[in-house]
Structure 1
């Protein structure tokens, strides 16, 4: 599986693509009615700054609730640094901004591992009203621990999420955080986080409001499942996502042999390497849980198993 489609909804709002082309005659929706997608078309001969300023001129930024940033380059791939700087520079123009998605980019625009990211720490700091932050891409990605009192949803999507980013997330003070998703990825693409890096979130002390945890897309999914089976944080979760990785019967058995999971509303295990017998064990053990066992993969040799999103 690769990221093949742009998101169509974000922060409960439909995504509307804004085009800087003067020939675009569409009637624009109200500023607060959609999540605005700002991007640069390949070969357009313009810069992100051009699209960004055209957006300011056409839409009242003070009422915008959600922004989605698509490709920021017109020709060769380039770091997201200047785009992030523009967002931070103009943050005061967006006092109502609640949600930001950086790098809504599909694989045919740029493979996730080719996205040239940067330090994103300034984003939550610049937008104090931010409730949801999603960042896609791990190459060059950096983060330092930060404090935010309103952020409820935080998601990092990567084919390889650096351990330094995971450590920064788990060291941050996020008193309102309800949903945390980390696509950990593989070591080949920089995903070098281990169980020790995840310990601060698994012990349940770091994020008191957490109700959903996703530790997904990992080549150590069995080890993560075994750790989650004993993790104190699970008792207060409503949903758990261990999908997209190389989960096998070994990891699933650890889940079933650990603490009870029947209190969960949902358990997402899609893209897995479970036998039919183990899938049935899970269904029997968790009858009231919304269980996603789709995208079953079949590969007996563990060396040939793969995560859903890597390159």
Structure 2
């Protein structure tokens, strides 16, 4: 099997799994809800030498074990990869090197790993979800790597993996799909908003007017950059306007933070943000813009931390956007 064949089979299988599990294909794909709906147990443990492990039915499965040291994007990708093993009936597999960041394009892949890796991309980035992300950015075709980074943030996927998938979907030229993954995401964040250099581990979300009514999935330390001239009308507890230190910014109107019209207002996600809520703001020339911000999930290493038990602030299946 080569990559072309692996992608062709994954492109067909992923929509079937979306359909069978009731997953919304137009927005952020909740892979952990998918695992639960598929009857696959999901646990996490520190595993320095493994990304993840899939236990097939012949080994008391189906179950997925993930490396607890991975960040949310790494966990999501690995979970989707292991779900791919389940969807294709590959049997038990240990995954030691998934190359999520795309740092080793020449590494050798077995046939089943190609198939599971391709499935992860098509499962987490279905074409309708990619198109929705482009609309929220306000574009139809990706022209710059910074725009690919923005797409990745809406989808909850890695920058390099998103670039490669955009190439498959013909949203960028083949040359860009081959060269852009080598651009460090930190550099792209700095181009979009230079102060993010001070927070190298954080993600940056540009919240533009076309994103009205959309849903953002964030983690503590992430930054939301609002458009120039934005004035916040509702700021959920745990989200803090930049330079406010939990108090209104100096250029506030009636105590409500407002940007100076030249640079967008920045909002940081803090550890206190525990319950999903909407941030609302006004931008000159637009009606009120409201975007739902989903609080980080607490990954504690037990089955109930992965959504096997209901949480009052999280839906049971993929978030409807």
Q: TM above 0.5, one fold? A: no
Q: Which has the higher helix share?
A: 2
